[in-house]
Amino acid sequence: GKGGVHGTDSLNWVKTAMAMECSHLKEGVQIVGIFKNATRVVIKGANLGVPQVAAIARKPKVQVEPDAVNAKGRVDESDIYGVTTRFCASLQRCMQHGVELQREFIRFLNARVVGKGYFGNRWKILQAKEKLLSAHLISKLPLRGTINASDNLVLLLYISSLLTGRPNCIAVTEDGREVSLLEALCIAGVEKPFELAPKEGLVLVNGTAVGSALASTVCYNANIMMLLVEVLFVLFYEVMHGKSKSTDSLTHKLKHYPGQMEAICNATHAIEREINSVNNNPIIDAGRGFVLHGGNFQGTRIGVSIDNMRIALSAITKLIPDYGMKGTKIAMAFYLSKMNYLAIPDMNSLGLVSTRKTKEAMEILKLMSDTFLVTLCQAIDLRYMEETMQTTVKQVVAQAVRKTHFMESNESFSPLQLCEEDLLMVGAYDTKGTSLVSNKIQDFLTYLLYKLVRREVETQVLYGLKTVSLG
C-alpha cells in the first residue's frame, strides 16, 4: 500500500523532490528546531533524521525507543541466514553448531537499533541497545582500523562487545568516564550479556551504522556553520553598503541552479536516507518467505556525500574575503589553503576517513568565520567613526560659517569651542574603543552578532597602540 516498501513511491522520488523544495536557510532553521526540541526519539525505520541522531549523541536526556508496534513481528519471524552457514564467500559450507559459530564470528567482526525488522535478530537485543543508547553508554572505539568501504565490521565489533560480554570491552559514560562491561550493563538496566542466537552475530556487525552516525553529527555541524556563514554575508553586505541589484532573483532564476550551499542539503538528505535504510546482507522478507542478496551494506554512499559536502565547504570559504586586518590576512590565507587541501576527495571515497577529514575542515571553517566576524565588527566601528566624524565636522564648519557673517573676523572661530565636546567623543572612541554615541548597527538585523562580539565576548575595537593582541 501507500507508504510501504512496495508503495506507489517505492523509489522515494517524490520524497526526495519535496525535500529540496525549500532553501537551505529554511531547512537549517528546521534542523536546529528539531534538535532543540528532541526529548524522545522513536526509531521507526523511516523517520530518523540528522538532527535526531545529533540529539541522541549530544543531549544527555534524550531517550531512544524502538518501534514495537510495526517491527517486532518481523523481527521475530526473520531468522534464516547465518544460522548454520558461514558468511559471504563461505555461505555453502554448513556448520552444525549455530550458537558456537555466532560466538566465534563476533570475536573477529553491530548494527544500530533497527526499526524495520528485516535483519533477523531477537527483540530483546534491540531493547538492550535502546537501553544503552538512552543511558548514553557507548563502546570505546579505535580512531583507526576500519575503512568503511562496504561496512563497519571492526568498529561494530567493539559496539557489539557490550552485548556479548567480551572481557576486554570498555564503555564510556556521558561524562567521559570509562567503565567495565558489567558496570555498563548494570547502569543501563541490562541483566547480563547475551548468548547470541542464530544469525545475530551477523546482524550485530554488518552495516554502515558507525559511518552513518558520525556523518550525521558532522552534517549537523555543517548545516549550523552554513547558517552562520549566510548571516555573516548579510552582515558583510550591510557593512559594505551593498547594492540591491546584486541579490536580484532574476539572476538565479535564469541560471536554474539551486546554489552552492544547497550541496549541504543534498548531503543531508543522502545521509538521512542511509540512516533510515536496512544495511544488512541479505535482507530477510519473512512475509514473502525469501532472502534478498542486495549488498545494502555498501558504504560508498556516505563517502561520496561527505566528499561532496567537504568540497562545497571549501568552495564557500573561497567566498569569504581573506583581506582585512593586517595580521589576520596571513591566518586567513593559511585557512583557505588548508581547506583546499582537505577538499581533495579520495578515489575510493572511504566514509569514515572522509568524515574525519570533513570534521577537520569544519574546525578550519570555524576559525575563518570567527576571524571574518571580528573583522566585520571592526569595519562596522570604523564606518561608524567615519560617519560620526563627518557629521561632527559638518556641524562645526556650518556653525563657523554662520558666525562669520555676523561677527568680527577676530571672533569668527570662537564658536568652534561649542563643538569641542562632540569632537572629543569621536576621539575617545578612536583611542579607547568605548562608544559615547549610539551606533547605527543597532538598527540592523545583524546587530545580535555585533552584540555577541562586543558585549558577550568583550572584544573591543582594535587599534595600533594596544599592547595585548586579540585572543
pLDDT of residue 405: 52
Tell whether 392 and 429 lie within a shared domain: yes
- DSSP assignment of 314-355 equals HHHHTTS---SSHHHHHHHHHHHHHHHHHTPPPTT--HHHHH
pLDDT score for 257: 65
How many CB atoms sit inside 10 A of residue 419's CB? 17
- Residue 467 falls inside a structural domain: no
Q: Is 253 contained in some domain?
A: yes
Last residue of a domain, one of 209, 239, 270: 209
In a domain, 364, yes or no: yes
- For residues 240, 242, 246, 247, the Cα torsion angle rounded to the nearest 10 degrees is 100
Q: How many CB atoms lie within 10 A of CB 62?
A: 19
Q: Name the amino acid, one letter, at 54.
A: A
- The domain that holds 228 is classified in CATH as 1.20.200.10
252 and 170 within one domain: no
C-alpha 127/C-alpha 134 separation (Å) is 10
Specify if 215 maps to a domain.
Answer: no
Per-position DSSP letters for 122-144, written without gaps between them: -HHHHHHHHHHHHTT-EE---SS
Q: Is residue 407 domain-shared with residue 449, that is, in the same domain? A: yes
Alpha-carbon span 429 to 380, nearest angstrom: 13
Check if the beta carbon of residue 162 is closer than 8 Å to that of residue 181.
yes
366 and 417 within one domain: no
CA distances from residue 170 to 141, 184, 376 in whole angstroms, order as listed? 9, 9, 47
Can you point out the beta strands (E) in 210-365?
A: 283-285, 290-292
Residues 6+ apart with CB under 8 A from 229: 261, 316, 320, 365, 369
For residues 451 and 317, state if they share a domain: no
For residue 340, what pLDDT is reported? 93
The whole domain housing 410 covers 376-456
- For CA atoms 327, 330, 333, 334, give the dihedral sign: negative
d(CA 302, CA 19): 18
Q: Are residues 28 and 144 in the same domain?
A: yes
In a domain, 282, yes or no: yes
The answer to whether residue 313 is domain-embedded is: yes
| pLDDT at site 225 | 92
- CA dist 413 and 396 (Å) reads 10
CATH number for the domain harbouring residue 51 = 1.10.275.10
Residue 465 included in any domain: no
Instruction: Please tell me whether residues 385 and 261 are part of one structural domain.
Output: no
- Is 384 designated active site? no
pLDDT in tens for each of the 471 residues of the chain?
444 444 566 666 776 666 666 677 788 888 999 999 988 887 766 678 889 888 888 887 787 776 666 666 655 555 444 443 444 444 444 444 444 434 333 333 333 434 455 555 677 888 888 888 888 888 888 887 776 666 677 888 888 888 887 888 888 888 889 998 888 889 988 888 888 776 677 777 777 788 888 889 999 999 999 899 989 998 898 888 888 787 777 776 777 666 545 666 777 888 888 877 777 666 767 677 777 777 667 777 788 888 989 998 998 898 888 777 778 889 999 999 999 999 988 776 678 888 889 999 999 999 999 999 999 988 888 888 777 777 777 777 777 766 655 555 555 444 445 555 666 665 555 555 555 556 677 777 788 888 888 888 888 887 766 556 555
Q: Please check whether residue 347 lies inside any domain of the structure.
A: yes
- 419 within 8 A of 396, measured Cβ to Cβ: yes
Which of 346, 373, 400 lies at the terminal end of a domain, its last residue?
373
Q: How far, CA to CA in Å, does 84 sit from each of 74, 96, 145, 198, 217?
A: 21, 6, 29, 7, 38
Do the strands 40-43 and 63-66 form a parallel or antiparallel pair, or are they unpaired?
Answer: parallel
Q: What is the pLDDT of residue 91?
A: 43
Residues 242 and 169 in one domain: no
Q: Which of 435, 423, 420 lies closest to 382 in space, CA to CA?
A: 435
pLDDT at 120: 55
Pair (229, 187) in one structural domain: no
- Domain-ending residue, one of 150, 175, 209: 209
The set of cell numbers assigned to 14 is 517524490
Give the chain's domain count.
3
Query: Rounded to an integer, what distance in angstroms lies between the CA atom of residue 133 and that of residue 441?
Result: 46
Catalytic residue among 81, 118, 429, 450: 81
Q: 36 and 173, same structural domain?
A: yes
**Which pLDDT score is estimated for 420?**
59
Q: How many CA atoms lie within 13 A of 316 on its CB side?
A: 29
Pair (314, 383) in one structural domain = no
Q: Are residues 364 and 386 in the same domain?
A: no
